[in-house]
Structure 1
């Protein structure tokens, strides 16, 4: 879709026992670690060419730890794609450490492939109205246009989101709560509209739908991912701790979404 080269990269680290680079004299000539890695990459390249005939595919074996190698590769990439977990020690984990850390440190968007994407489903983008989330919105519009898919912009809100004065103290009149809910809904609807402003005009052929969900953000996004072909989220939004590189919502969908997730940092 992007009409660019696909580069298949393997970060190679020697075992702690310092196994020999080549084959053992007691074994077959292709039995060395490096030969095994080259065979692994050759299979991956062939799989890529079968999936996308005519695509330009290259490969590289780079000595180093996976996160360091891939973070360096991201500086000259449009997109990095990784699986949700790899061959690390804890195979039962929902999400591998490389996917988590790369999503926080890469210099380009990171797509974590997980779940079973719905081919005819929309591209879903999480909208929170923060400046940090605008990069994910822009990415989602461009990605939906590339895929010829609909775009679903989802914004979840809570009655208590910005009205902490009702959480403690004197009982609150139910009429006041209803009024607060109505005002909050109107305000959150404005946040959603403003976050999308300007993008539909740049993609007039794109079908854009919005979803204003009254409820918690993480469950709403995970549920929406069940009928999506891709979900886009910012690395972090307006909640949580400002020093965090990856917010709790982003981490939740990386762990539990039913489709691939692309994390887009705002400082790229």
Structure 2
């Protein structure tokens, strides 16, 4: 792996936790780590932008010191890890989205500085998860341990986006040395004519088993030794079921809708719910635009 893992750092506890998760991922995958601080903000914190000033301010000493201290801590915890630090004259979200064009993975905390208490996901995290050009790891909760050993959980439904998430989840499970749990949420179709077809519950469960069997087969062809669990769960709302299932997972992987719909809906409803409410870190399986 030659592309770096990029993490946004602003000095907040959530971003420092994200940096530890990013360092662990870089160590597992043999990738360099880049700590990025976007230091320009129109208001709220950081260096304000003066519209009457013809030049952008340069990097600030406080940000440089914060990056240097974070990098030193990570190098101590992961000896041999290649860590680069960078300050960019832009806001946090635009900086990370641009960095994602040449990254293997972008890591963000679930809330940075300056957010309102009631917002469960900071604006930077939300924008990056919806617009990045590579997969995005949203570290939830803000103090999630970086050494969690739970299985990797991925939702499968037979769609192309779910297939992308499936293979990313399988690769990540192998890298972490944990099992992979395939989750499919099913619900009886009451509109089915049970006079000619099997009962709705029976048919829906059979369809769920078929989806899971197909996904498990695809994974085993790629990783024959990976422990794979198939978990069909009955429920009306797939996002709520996956949020509850995330309580016992070390990581949940979810596909993104991509850019085929309305501009503001770059994440599917299940993806949005998980990055806001999951009980463990969430990996949004966005495709690499540079590959």
> For the superposition of Structure 1 and Structure 2, which TM-score range results when normalised by the shorter chain?
0.7 to 0.9
Distance (Å, rounded) in 2 between the aligned partners of 1:187 and 1:62:
50
Partner of 2:119, secondary structure, is: coil
2:20 matched to which residue of 1?
none
Q: Which has the larger radius of gyration?
A: 1
2:43 matched to which residue of 1?
none
Count of aligned pairs = 246
Q: State the Cα RMSD in Å.
A: 2.6
Distance (Å, rounded) in 1 between the aligned partners of 2:256 and 2:234:
22
What per-residue deviation string (whole Å, max 9, x for no partner) do you get for residues 34-88 of structure 1?
Answer: 0111111112212221331210101100111222111111111111111001013
The answer for unaligned runs of 5 or more in structure 2 is: 1-27, 41-46
Q: CA 1:74/1:180 → structure 2, altered by over 3 Å: closer, same or farther?
A: same
1:103 matched to which residue of 2?
129
Partner of 2:48, secondary structure, is: coil
Match of 2:101 among 75, 93, 103: 75
The answer for unaligned runs of 5 or more in structure 1 is: 23-32, 167-171
Query: Taking structure 2 as the reference length, what is the TM-score of the superposition?
Result: 0.77
State the Cα distance separating 1:89 from its structure 2 match.
Answer: 3.7
- Answer yes or no: is the 8 Å Cα contact 2:185–2:234 preserved in 1: yes
Partner of 2:116, secondary structure, is: coil
Which shows bigger deviation, 72-81 or 176-185?
176-185
State the Cα distance separating 1:187 from its structure 2 match.
Answer: 1.2
Distance (Å, rounded) in 2 between the aligned partners of 1:201 and 1:192:
14
State the Cα distance separating 1:178 from its structure 2 match.
Answer: 7.8
Query: Taking structure 1 as the reference length, what is the TM-score of the superposition?
Result: 0.83
What does 1:212-223 correspond to in 2, within 5 Å? 212-215=232-235, 216-223=237-244
Is 1:138 the counterpart of 2:167 in the alignment? yes
Distance (Å, rounded) in 1 between the aligned partners of 2:68 and 2:166:
36
- Answer yes or no: is the 8 Å Cα contact 2:181–2:228 preserved in 1: yes
State the Cα distance separating 1:266 from its structure 2 match.
Answer: 4.7
Partner of 2:199, secondary structure, is: helix
Distance (Å, rounded) in 2 between the aligned partners of 1:232 and 1:145:
14
2:15 matched to which residue of 1?
none
2:200 matched to which residue of 1?
180
Partner of 1:183, secondary structure, is: helix
What per-residue deviation string (whole Å, max 9, x for no partner) do you get for residues 4-43 of structure 1?
Answer: 1000000110304589958xxxxxxxxxx70111111112
Higher RCO structure, 1 or 2 (CA under 8 Å, sep 6+): 1
Partner of 1:112, secondary structure, is: strand
- Answer yes or no: is the 8 Å Cα contact 1:67–1:101 preserved in 2: yes
- Answer yes or no: is the 8 Å Cα contact 1:222–1:253 preserved in 2: yes
Q: CA 1:137/1:253 → structure 2, altered by over 3 Å: closer, same or farther?
A: same
- Answer yes or no: is the 8 Å Cα contact 1:134–1:266 preserved in 2: no
